[in-house]
């Protein structure tokens, strides 16, 4: 599997920050889409399925935590990494409780972020493979629970 297959959606209202970050991630072989608020992120996820979302918390309009909650309802197997400059331990716990993959402080080291994106993608891929195995065996309930991270 090549890096180019990983589809990343960046969600952040700081346009200059997220555009530059997107450019740097593309230089590292990732397919990057960018939206600038939570509402745009949800519209995007309804239309297509990114592998990994890198999501800011404190944005005008919909808060990142609400976006995470909705994304997990819409597409439970999409991985979400929180990247925030305003996060506490409590936010970290809440994001993980809602199914977030990781919680990072902004500005993050680019290599570390790329590593986390790859880890998130790998976990998603492996989970999908397990779900397929169960679905092919006709055990659909278990397959669904795997996708929803309930198992």
Partner 1 sequence: MRYFLLPSTHRFCGRAKQKEIGGVMTSEAENFVRINQLKFIGKILSVYAHELNNQLGIIKEASGLIKDIVALNKSNNNRLHEELARPLQSVYSRIGDAAFLTNTLSVFGRGMEEETTSLNINKTVGELLVLVKRMAVQKRIELVTDFQADIPTINGDPLMLQFLLFCLMEEQLMRLKAKGRLVFRTARTGNVLSVMILPEGEVEQADEMRTFPEEMAQLIAKAHGLSIAVNGRDSRIIFNV
Asked whether the beta carbons of 53 and 9 are under 8 A apart, the reply is yes
CA 4 to chain centre: 16
Provide the token pair at 46.
């309804």
Q: How far is the CB of 17 from partner 1 (least distance, A)?
A: 5
Cα angle, residue 140 at apex, residues 138 and 141 outer, rounded to 5°:
135
Provide the token pair at 53.
């979302």
Give yes or no for residue 69 binding partner 1 (CB under 8 A): no
Give yes or no for residue 17 binding partner 1 (CB under 8 A): yes
Instruction: Give whichever of 83 and 146 is closer to partner 1, judged by the CB atom.
Output: 83
Give yes or no for residue 14 binding partner 1 (CB under 8 A): yes
Using the rule CB under 8 A, give the single segment among 65-73, 85-93, 115-123, 135-143 that binds partner 1.
85-93
Give yes or no for residue 115 binding partner 1 (CB under 8 A): no
Rounded Cα distance, 11 and 1, in Å: 25
- Rule CB under 8 A: which residues touch partner 1? 14, 16-17, 20-21, 23-24, 27, 58, 85-86, 88-90, 105-107, 109-110
């Amino acid at each position: 599997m090549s890096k180019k297959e990983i589809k990343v959606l960046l969600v952040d209202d700081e346009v200059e920050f997220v555009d530059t970050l997107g450019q740097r991630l593309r230089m590292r072989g990732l397919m990057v889409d960018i939206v600038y608020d939570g509402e745009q992120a949800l519209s995007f996820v309804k239309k297509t399925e990114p592998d990994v979302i890198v999501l800011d918390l404190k944005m005008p309009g919909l808060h990142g935590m609400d976006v995470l909650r909705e994304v997990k309802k819409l597409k439970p197997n999409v991985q979400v990494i929180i990247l925030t400059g305003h996060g506490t331990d409590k936010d970290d716990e809440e994001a993980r409780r809602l199914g977030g993959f990781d919680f990072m402080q902004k500005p993050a080291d680019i290599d570390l972020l790329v590593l986390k994106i790859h880890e998130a993608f790998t976990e998603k891929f492996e989970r999908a493979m397990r779900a397929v195995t169960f679905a092919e065996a006709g055990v659909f309930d278990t397959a669904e629970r795997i996708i929803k991270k309930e198992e």
